[in-house]
Structure 1
Amino acid sequence: MRPFRLEPALLRTAVESTLPPGAAAPDDEEVVARFAAGAWTVLPEPGDGVAGMLRERVGAAQALQLLVEGAGPDAWASAIGDAESARRIPDALARWQPRLSAERILGAFAQGAAHSQVLLTRDDPRWPAALDDLGPHAPAALWMRGDPDALAACDRSAALVGSRASSGYGELVTGQLAAGLVARRFAIVSGGAYGIDGTAHRAALASGGTTVAVLAGGLDRFYPAGNDELLRRVAAAGCVVAEAPSGVPPTRWRFLARNRLIAALASATVVVEAGRRSGSINTAGHAAALGRPLGAVPGPVTSGASTGCHRLLREYGAAVVERAEDVVELVDGPGEEDAPLAGATSDELRVLDALSTRAPRAVDDLAMRTGMAPGDVSAALALLELGGAVGERGAGWVRVRS
């Protein structure tokens, strides 16, 4: 059998060169699935809803196989099981066909390996499940440089975004917010750009925190070039991710598509400083559409650099953010930062602070995060559960919102 009309050895070499660290050697079925996921980062533009619909209904591997075989309308309609959706296929095929070549897809894997990139797919245990909230517009996979475990920290994170032409005021507030959030064990997500984005990453690194940069182009060449050194530091301490494979340049529409990933990945989005037409307003729109908490930092009414933030406060229902505690309140609910639990012990507070409201965490994981013995963690969890502050979910524990 030659999946996608390629020799199985070629597929295996491509896939194994971009496996996450510590991953076991994949079986033949996993090789096919991972190769197909990588191929779907090459063929469509980021956020292509038709490609996402096909992956959801047919599966990434079968959809790629049909595409390679040149399947006709009847075959697509039969595979999808929905004649209405199948009508969207011809236009999509016309978009994807120019990129449908084995050389291009294999080249994405080869370039990824050459630049120390990992391909993270939706089947990987470290895949950020928050991205799946994008539905058919979710990415098929992510190309990554850095530590895949850094993405796990995004289950308690804040996106700090804003203008590239930032002012001293905006950079000061960004630095204070990032440092304060890192101290509260938040990861910082941003877009790696000049201005507010770069300041957020630098402040997180300086505070010893985890930061994730989401880029609009391939990771073979960091953009903007002036932030190359910064993004290398982010990759060394956290991770840099992109939906696009190596060789794909950042463009205006790819920046706009990238913004949906920032909004989905973070627990809350805060626009620190932005003009009326800033791209960060687009990120805020995605956060609002996803139901993610949204905040904005007010600025001087005389400053054009803050008109976008004021618009978010007026028209999008964004919360006023002045300090890190305001962002914590956006994520955890009112009052939890100032009074997590009346009469709680220091062990209970430490465990509570290490829990996520979304991702269940096991006792051993909490012991590692808190520096406590597993037995002490279990005792603290039992008391917190009695108070209604935590709950058991699956194989772990989560923090319960007030």
Structure 2
Amino acid sequence: MNQTITQVVPVTFTYPVHFTEHLFDAQHSLLRDTLIGEGAPGDHVPRVLCVIDDGVLAAFPGLGTQIQDYFAAQPGLCLTAPPLAVPGGEHCKSESGLVERVQEAINTHGIDRHAYVIAVGGGAVLDMVGYAAATAHRGVRLVRVPTTVLSQNDSAVGVKNSVNAFGKKNWLGTFAPPYAVLNDRAFLTTLEDRDWLGGLSEALKVALLRDAAFFEWLEANAAALAARDRAAMDHAVYRCAELHLEHIAGSGDPFERGSSRPLDFGHWAAHKLESLSSYGLRHGEAVAVGIALDCTYAFLSGLLPETDWRRILDVLKTLELAVYVPELGSGAQDASDPHSVLSGLNEFREHLGGRLTIPLLTGIAQPIEVHEMDHGVLRRAVAVLQDVQAQTSNPSTIQSQGVL
């Protein structure tokens, strides 16, 4: 006789995403209040391990000491050791032994499921530390303190943690929501221009998918953002993070059990381009190229109106984001060649599982999903973007020169 028990386990995750400045100033209570929560300080003294991106330490040389001084002034908290510095950048997700190094520190300093790991850094470090924390004790509390535009407006506010493996981006990972996200806008002031601007590709992405008004705002404020206007960046980061959070909570698939992943618009090519560049290309820069490629493909396929296509490329141009890089034209555009960006389509399908599902646009904030892409049209799109990147004039001159 066959018997079945079907168990349903409803789980609700709640975590705050705070926006502040000078988080580690001794008089700033947000971090302390976040860690102690609603319980009385005397009931339990939370133990804390802090892991910091060494690039952030280079930009803020006194930060390690400042963090130690902050915790020394908080009687209800225990920093178990001086902050642990780890290499930053995408390479940290591929570097052998870094995850184990963080896990060893978690073990050595007695970080249990009621203690905290605070990760301070860019998105790659947050991914790596998050993966280490999520797999220690089957998950210890993680507080993310993102320090780049891209991590504050996108990667840090989500539920994913990952490292690279087998030559593929984010092949190992977990879905583990953070305990809290603390965005400190002061960290953005020392970013190189390429990191300040690159992170805006994710804002453009989510605007194109979900919010025409936000796209129009980005269009109107692109020059100010490129000029490092802090008020404009504050709004861009906040609205982008808000839209990402709305999608995660309201999409019906926060842990990506299906094969549709709208927020990876432009990412099938971006992930491959990062790999082809040996991660010399930053994620935001690669996403900008990926967005340009998919929008050009949609235009050439008759899906996206020409006016919308031109507006999108104009925003990317004003934000000083490239729409073509040499890696896009490598591998003779043969999908069977692992050095071709087209091979990224199959890698993307494998990563999601099921059918290939690619988000495209039929208009601003009008996404659709397709399950195949014509390689011939993609090759044409690459050629168009190569010409666009070479032009010093407005993309409106392209058609008259016979490229399309």
Q: The TM-score by the shorter chain falls in which range?
A: under 0.3
**TM-score normalized by structure 1?**
0.26
Give the TM-score normalised by structure 2.
Answer: 0.26
